[in-house]
């Protein structure tokens, strides 16, 4: 039998244990996998909201939904409610569902715009099952009604759950602080990790899951960092957990404030809260005061300040080291993409293959795909800040007037001119997502597609009414979200 490739994962948390569990389950016969983490070093551990592709990755790992939700105190998520983003006092919803029905030629949006013009259309969200279910605090029973859902979860419990899967599949685990990274003098490849105890962990391939420290990819291999803070100026977050004080809604709340935004994430046993802000426009003390004044439920933890820079490593794969998770780069959690980026990084690694003898073309392809993915998500997040009517604070005036990437400017111009949005190949956020956020932030198309006029008034009225009634009927038979959680996956 061929000698196994030694894969060493530096760092635990969600990124480390997700990587370990996936590699062990899929490639355990050819990879000898070791994970090194220090119990003395805490993880960020606040990535508690997710997006629907997680379900596919869990299926890939043979994870049972009910078991996972019980273990992580999870609840369902159907989207995000954005408050005060377009203007103070206004809100909109980015749902995970499809709104209306598209045609081969154009999207439902254009028929809806024609219906608005004729006075026969309801609100855009009334034609989306996930949106209506979320606002009614309902969830499909997973048998009668299919909803495109994600989860709210306890990140620390999730890491423990994944650790159990990984170790059952043969991953070796060492608890120790990495004191030194050794490199091969001839080619600069990483050869081993030295722990504070003096133990040496040798490997052929190394995965950097050391978080913002980026101990391997940056401090050892000097990948370089591309800073995006001029487009995404928030650089701080304060997190606190609180006791539940109200019903558990199946969605995340994102509430904009004078220098950023606040999140509210409901779990089974508590709520996750946090304030994301720009230190240029708000001090840490102001942020703490603002957060504590706008939470419901008694605090269960001390306030935790997290400093970050938005951007990415210039190369997430250098020599025989790949960065996954926060060590690869950071996008603020506005659209809950952090765990997804870990999963796609792992998938990309598995698809591109060999971690032993590594051709440079494989490294280049990986880096190109990773770069494109991050930039596409970055542009979607920038959209929330740029497309605003708020001018009530220096932060929002900066965001409204800042220069943005050319590709995003083109997308916004295309939507404003003819109501056209699109999803490029491999892009995370669907056409529906772009449409909901652009409309919600106040970007109104100047015209609709002429095919919408091929429906006469009666046909269009009937078409819209049938869609809306179908959504209403499905929502009416759904159970209450909190009640369903108790029967389905109560911890």
Residue spans of the domains in the chain: they are 5-48+154-229+310-358, 97-149+377-476, 236-307
77 is catalytic: yes
What is the rounded distance in angstroms from the CA atom of residue 118 to the CA atom of residue 266? Answer: 40
> Cβ atoms within 10 A of the Cβ of 317, count?
28
What is the rounded distance in angstroms from the CA atom of residue 239 to the CA atom of residue 310? Answer: 18
Instruction: Look up residue 315 and give its two tokens.
Output: 């190369």
The pLDDT value given to residue 115: 96
Contact 263, 254 (CB under 8 A): yes
Instruction: Look up residue 301 and give its two tokens.
Output: 């933890």
Confidence class for position 102, pLDDT limits 50, 70, 90: confident
Instruction: Look up residue 426 and give its two tokens.
Output: 């491999």
Strands ordered across the beta sheet of 178-183: 178-183, 190-195, 200-202
Fold of the CATH domain 5-48+154-229+310-358: FAD/NAD(P)-binding domain (3.50.50)
The pLDDT value given to residue 426: 87
User: pLDDT digit string (tens) for 5-39?
Assistant: 999 999 999 999 999 999 999 998 899 999 999 98
What is the rounded distance in angstroms from the CA atom of residue 421 to the CA atom of residue 431? Answer: 6
Region of 419 (left: φ > 0; alpha: ψ -120 to 50; beta: rest) is: left
Strands ordered across the beta sheet of 311-313: 225-227, 311-313, 329-330
- Cα–chain center distance at 225: 21
User: pLDDT digit string (tens) for 141-185?
Assistant: 666 678 999 999 999 999 999 999 999 999 999 999 999 999 999
Q: What is the pTM of this model?
A: 0.96
The pLDDT value given to residue 172: 97
Instruction: Look up residue 118 and give its two tokens.
Output: 């004729």
Helix, strand, coil percentages, rounded to 5, for the chain = 40, 20, 40
DSSP-derived letter for residue 99 is B
Proportion of the chain above pLDDT 90, given as a percent? 88
Residue 472 clears pLDDT 90, i.e. is over it: yes
Residue 91 clears pLDDT 70, i.e. is over it: yes
Residues in the chain: 491
The pLDDT value given to residue 304: 84
The pLDDT value given to residue 210: 96
- The pLDDT of 333-362, averaged and rounded, is 91
User: pLDDT digit string (tens) for 246-287?
Assistant: 889 999 999 999 999 999 999 999 999 999 999 999 999 999
Burial class (CB in 10 A: 0-12, 13-18, 19+), 167: middle
Region of poorest pLDDT, from 117-121, 351-355, 456-460: 351-355
User: In this predicted model, which residue has the larger pLDDT, 222 or 304?
Assistant: 222
Query: Closest by alpha carbon to 208, among 198, 188, 193?
Result: 193
User: pLDDT digit string (tens) for 126-151?
Assistant: 999 999 999 999 998 666 678 999 99
Residue 288 clears pLDDT 80, i.e. is over it: yes
The pLDDT value given to residue 395: 98
User: pLDDT digit string (tens) for 357-394?
Assistant: 789 999 999 999 999 999 999 999 999 999 999 999 99
Confidence class for position 47, pLDDT limits 50, 70, 90: low
The pairs formed by 54-61 with CB atoms below 8 angstroms and a separation of 24 or more are 54/150, 54/151, 54/339, 54/340, 54/343, 55/149, 55/150, 57/22, 57/343, 57/347, 60/22, 60/26, 61/21, 61/22, 61/25, 61/165
The pLDDT value given to residue 357: 77
Candidate list 3, 6, 55, 77, residue with the active-site label: 77
Helix (H) or strand (E) holding 227: strand 225-227
Residue position matching structure tokens 């602080």: 177
What is the rounded distance in angstroms from the CA atom of residue 192 to the CA atom of residue 296? Answer: 48
Strands ordered across the beta sheet of 317-318: 172-175, 31-37, 5-10, 205-208, 321-323, 317-318
Average pLDDT, the chain: 94
């Amino acid at each position: 039998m061929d000698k196994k490739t030694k894969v060493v994962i530096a760092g635990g948390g969600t990124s480390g244990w997700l990587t370990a569990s996936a590699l062990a389950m899929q490639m355990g016969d050819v990879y000898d996998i070791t994970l090194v983490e220090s119990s003395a070093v805490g993880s960020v551990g606040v990535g508690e909201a997710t997006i629907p592709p997680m379900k596919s990755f869990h299926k890939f790992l043979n994870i049972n939904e009910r078991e996972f939700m019980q273990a992580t105190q999870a609840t369902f998520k159907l989207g995000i409610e954005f408050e005060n983003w377009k203007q103070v006092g206004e809100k909109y919803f980015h749902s995970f569902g499809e709104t209306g029905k598209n045609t081969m030629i154009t999207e439902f949006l254009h028929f809806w715009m024609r219906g608005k013009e004729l006075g026969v259309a309801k609100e855009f969200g009334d034609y989306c099952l996930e949106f209506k279910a979320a606002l009614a605090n309902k969830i499909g029973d997973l048998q009668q009604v299919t909803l495109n859902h994600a989860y709210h979860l306890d990140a620390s419990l999730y890491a423990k759950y994944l650790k159990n899967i990984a170790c059952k599949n043969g991953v070796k685990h060492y608890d120790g602080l990495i004191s030194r990274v050794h490199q091969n003098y001839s080619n600069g490849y990483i050869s081993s990790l030295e722990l504070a105890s003096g133990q040496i962990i040798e490997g052929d391939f190394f995965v950097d899951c050391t978080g913002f420290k980026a101990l391997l990819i940056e401090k050892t291999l000097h990948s370089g960092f591309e800073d995006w803070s001029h487009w995404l100026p928030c650089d701080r977050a304060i997190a606190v957990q609180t006791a539940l004080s109200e019903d558990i809604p199946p969605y995340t709340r994102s509430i904009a404030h004078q220098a950023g935004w606040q999140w509210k994430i409901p779990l089974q046993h508590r709520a996750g809260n946090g304030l994301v802000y720009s230190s240029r426009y708000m001090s840490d003390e102001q942020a703490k005061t603002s957060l504590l004044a706008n939470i419901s439920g008694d605090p269960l933890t001390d306030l935790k300040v997290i400093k970050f820079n938005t951007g990415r490593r210039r190369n997430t794969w250098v020599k025989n080291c790949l960065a996954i998770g926060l060590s690869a780069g950071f996008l603020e959690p506005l659209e809950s993409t952090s765990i997804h980026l870990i999963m796609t990084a792992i998938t990309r690694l598995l698809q591109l293959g060999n971690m032993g003898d590594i051709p440079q073309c494989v490294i280049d392809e990986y880096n190109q795909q990773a770069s494109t993915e991050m930039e596409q998500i970055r542009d979607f997040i920038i959209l929330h800040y740029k497309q605003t009517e708020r001018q009530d604070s220096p932060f929002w005036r900066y965001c409204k007037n800042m220069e943005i990437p050319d590709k995003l400017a083109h997308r916004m111009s295309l939507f404003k001119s003819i109501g056209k949005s699109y999803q490029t190949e491999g892009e995370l956020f669907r056409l529906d997502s772009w449409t909901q956020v652009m409309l919600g932030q106040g970007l109104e198309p100047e015209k609709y597609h002429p095919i919408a006029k091929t429906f006469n008034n009666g046909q269009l009225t009937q078409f819209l009414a049938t869609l809306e009634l179908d959504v209403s009927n499905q929502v009416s038979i759904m159970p209450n979200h909190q009640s369903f959680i108790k029967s389905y996956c109560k911890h």
